[in-house]
Structure 1
Amino acid sequence: MPIELVRVDHRLVHGQVTMGWSRAVGADVLLVISDRVAASPFDISLMEMAVPPGVRLVVWSVDQARQAAADGAWPDGKVLALVANPIDLERLVAAGLTLSEVNIGGVRSEGARHKLTKEVHATDDELVAWKTLAGQGIRLSVQWLPAQKRKLLNDEIAKR
């Protein structure tokens, strides 16, 4: 599978991704999976400005990514996939994306009532999605930068 890393981060493309994670995994494609961004030429152009030289930006809606997951048809290259929330990620896994581990950055949605870690806050629906992902044996690792220590979100989710 050409996906080197899947990261859940509400900010999608930003410095930690472009300078840290894309370099750490040798990604030459940033695949943003977001209905909001896919529908906004303005957001796409902002993200294109942040992408480092030699790295290509591909933006798909969640449905486009679900179809790719079902078909195993990802963009050519070493892909760093970026998803804004666990609900969209759970939809991709349900469509056939096979994962053993997910990297998690900042995840904070409006209306989030559950503080899972300093970096990860969840709405009721997001908590259900995190539990579903953890229940499928996916390791949920909170880690802002490659050199930092990982925190396992699975342990916190199991308490709820």
Structure 2
Amino acid sequence: MVGIVIASHGEFATGILQSGAMIFGEQENVKAVTLMPSEGPNDVKAKMKEAISSFDNQDEVLFLIDLWGGTPFNQASSLIDEQEGKWAIVTGLNLAMVIESYAARMSKDTAYEVAEQILGTAKEAVKIKPEELEPADTAKADAGTASTGAPGSFEYVLARIDTRLLHGQVATAWTRNTQPTRIIVVSDVVAEDELRKKLIQQAAPSGVKAHVVPIKKMIELAKDDQHFGGQRALLLFENPQDVLRAVEGGVPLETINVGSMSHSPGKVQPNKVLAFDQNDIDTFRKLKEFGVDFDVRKVPADQYGNMDEILKRAQAELDKQR
């Protein structure tokens, strides 16, 4: 696996490393290197060497650095000059760049390949609001990246239960992992809330269209085999009850990613991110009767949770309360 050194002036690198872990999960072979006010070039170079020495593969190293021409960049450049052309540097450090590098190294074996893949994402992450301030050529390019329709049905690349719906972990980690062309929030409640609909549409990552539809409409879309060929759909649900209604109506979901269910009065919380009441437990059991499998992960890098065991613990806690 390609090792990654995130380097910056001050604590920026440490903070963005933490942010990346919140969205994509904790990562191996990644280190933050900081240049503090009391330190000089030799200090940051020594830190970089120490970070690289901890990597499993020291032949392939990617530096993600804040500024071109700054001290961290200069010291990384001097280290690269000592190598045989296998290390790479990308500057202009931002969170999208970090997340994309984590995803890219799952399928890319070299620092060069990862650097090439993340460059476009890092640039696309720089946006402006209000949109009319954005250069016309950039806006046009973004608008043209989504796939056009063709005869056929949706390909469902992910169906996820997440109380927060479209947020950072979905817009970055899951989108990079599944490569959808459309993100569809399926909710009667949200479909009637114009403000939430607008916020969700604005939160969509570059090149992906976001929609909010009521459950009945999603059932109709799922049965349309004429207009969505080539479209890769990522479906987001707030709760398992909405998923069950969609499945009962004919939306062909084989696996549900269970990512987040927030706590509220009357619910028990058998793990850190999932809370259940009796209705939730009964609903998951009905979904299982429909042949639906459960993928319990907050982000793609997490280990799979055992839904049967989680439901057993939740049921036991609810029984104790009675």
Alpha-carbon distance, 1:102 to partner: 0.9
Give runs of aligned pairs for residues 116-127 of structure 1, distance below 5 A.
Answer: 116-127=270-281
**Structure 1 148/137 Cα, relative in aligned 2: closer, same or farther at 3 Å?**
same
Number of the residue aligned with 2:156:
3
Residue by residue, what CA displacement relative to the aligned partner does 1:91-131 show, whole Å, maximum 9, x if unpaired? Answer: 11111122321111111253342324321111221221111
Structure number having the greater strand percentage: 1
In structure 2, runs of 5+ residues without a counterpart are 1-153, 316-322
Number of the residue aligned with 1:107:
261
> Secondary structure of the residue that 2:260 maps to in structure 1?
coil
Percent identity, aligned pairs only?
Answer: 25
Residue by residue, what CA displacement relative to the aligned partner does 1:28-68 show, whole Å, maximum 9, x if unpaired? Answer: 11000011211111111111221111010111012212333
Q: 2:220 aligns with which of 35, 48, 67?
A: 67
Q: 1:50 aligns with which of 184, 198, 203?
A: 203
Rg: which structure is higher? 2
Number of the residue aligned with 2:239:
85
Q: Distance in 2 between matches of 1:140 and 1:74?
A: 29
> Secondary structure of the residue that 1:97 maps to in structure 2?
coil
Q: 2:181 aligns with which of 28, 51, 57?
A: 28
The answer (yes or no) to whether the contact 1:8–1:82 under 8 Å persists in 2 is yes
The answer (yes or no) to whether the contact 1:112–1:124 under 8 Å persists in 2 is no
Q: 2:252 aligns with which of 93, 98, 117?
A: 98
Number of the residue aligned with 1:37:
190
Q: Distance in 1 between matches of 2:275 and 2:225?
A: 32
Q: 2:310 aligns with which of 150, 156, 159?
A: 156
**Structure 1 148/24 Cα, relative in aligned 2: closer, same or farther at 3 Å?**
same
The answer (yes or no) to whether the contact 1:107–1:121 under 8 Å persists in 2 is yes
Residue by residue, what CA displacement relative to the aligned partner does 1:109-154 show, whole Å, maximum 9, x if unpaired? Answer: 5334232432111122122111111233322121111111111213
The answer (yes or no) to whether the contact 2:257–2:297 under 8 Å persists in 1 is yes
**Structure 1 117/132 Cα, relative in aligned 2: closer, same or farther at 3 Å?**
farther
The answer (yes or no) to whether the contact 2:218–2:251 under 8 Å persists in 1 is no
Q: How many residues align?
A: 159
**Structure 1 138/3 Cα, relative in aligned 2: closer, same or farther at 3 Å?**
same
In structure 1, runs of 5+ residues without a counterpart are none
Which 4+ residue blocks in structure 1 deviate beyond 4 angstroms?
A: 72-75
Calculate the aligned-residue CA RMSD, in Å.
Answer: 2.1
> Secondary structure of the residue that 1:65 maps to in structure 2?
helix
Q: Distance in 1 between matches of 2:266 and 2:225?
A: 33
